[in-house]
Amino acid sequence: MTTQYRHTLQGILLAVLATLVWSGNFIVARYSSTDVPPIMLATLRWSCAALLMLPLGYQAFWRQRQLIVHHWPLLLFASFTGISLFNTLVYVAGHYSEAIMLALVGTTSSPVFSFILARIFLQEKIPPQRLAGLLLCITGILLLLSRGSWYTLLHLRFTEGDWWILGAALSFAIYNILARKKPAALSPTAFLFSTFWMGALLLLPAAAIEYVVRPYQLVINWQLAGIVLYLGLGTSVIAFYCWNRAIGYLGAARAAIFGNLIPIFSSLEAVWLLGEHISWMHVAGMLLVISGLVLANLRFSKQPAASA
């Protein structure tokens, strides 16, 4: 097994693990929409994640503090787009749309945004088979979105929640580009530690403004504690670490395709946890997405020209 093949395989496994953990984020966004305001939920999540990163990342942060200070604009922008803004917009969208729609709209648009931005800013090449794979993924997502009906697809209207989730998808696509451009010498642990703390601190004044504009009473119980721990440890520390490593192995545009697995995992979780029915349309959509992922990650070797 060559080093390149091993790195590709590791990148794929890490990307799949990240999307599996992230798939529950949309369910939490919808489930918590009536109990916790969106900015406060994001603040609790990232404050928890930042605290959890203290024993894991402080030493790495301190060793590379000069490198972090030198590249602070990049890290601050990555923190704003990937930490502060992205998940806050998801939680705002949860007040208007169902969890499955959040996953579908967000994951359909994010790879497209990432492909365009990676091509413009990173000059990443997009081979024809990878483009074909992306189109297959989008076809599968649209099949799920339309529930197998052409009429539903043709008359599809975006709600306020859809626009919020589109903004979140664009924000995360920008984060993918910034994560790819991070200094090679900066370790993934130091990068996560820096962005988590910056992102959490950026959210604090926004949460204060949210409370002043619309006062609320936060009910603290074991259910809220479990949600915050899942978001802080699972969807933040574990998933972001896996995702950033996957970007390093696969590239921003290639890794972004795996975001299409989120609605698949969300559907399976709904069947398992909520007892919802899965139809032929779900199976067909999932198969199209998986086929697109396989096609996008195939590498076709060039045959040497024959000697005259």
- pLDDT tens-digit readout, 94-122: 888 777 667 767 766 776 777 777 777 77
Q: Which domain holds residue 177?
A: 3-127+157-279
Report the chain's mean pLDDT, rounded to a whole number.
82
Fill in the amino acid letter for 11. Answer: G
DSSP secondary structure letter of residue 257: G
Whether 286 is covered by a domain: the verdict is no
Is residue 287 within a helix (H) or strand (E), and if so which, with residue range? Answer: helix 280-296
DSSP secondary structure letter of residue 259: G
Whether 37 is covered by a domain: the verdict is yes
Q: Is pLDDT at 198 greater than 80 in this prediction?
A: yes
Whether 162 is covered by a domain: the verdict is yes
Alpha-carbon gap, residue 221 to 205, rounded angstroms:
24
Q: Name the percent of the chain in helix, strand, coil, to the closest 5.
A: 80, 0, 20
* Count of beta carbons in the 10 Å neighbourhood of residue 172: 25
Whether 34 is covered by a domain: the verdict is yes
Whether 143 is covered by a domain: the verdict is no
Q: pLDDT tens, 171-185?
A: 988 888 888 888 889
Whether 301 is covered by a domain: the verdict is no
Query: For the chain, how many structural domains are there in total?
Result: 1
Return the closest-CA partner of residue 147 out of 284, 289, 281: 281
pTM: 0.77
Hey, what are 18's tokens?
Answer: 């990240």
Yes or no: say if 270 and 26 are a contact pair by the CB < 8 Å rule: no
Whether 73 is covered by a domain: the verdict is yes
Q: Is pLDDT at 62 greater than 90 in this prediction?
A: yes
Yes or no: say if 170 and 113 are a contact pair by the CB < 8 Å rule: yes
Average pLDDT over residues 234-259: 83
Whether 208 is covered by a domain: the verdict is yes
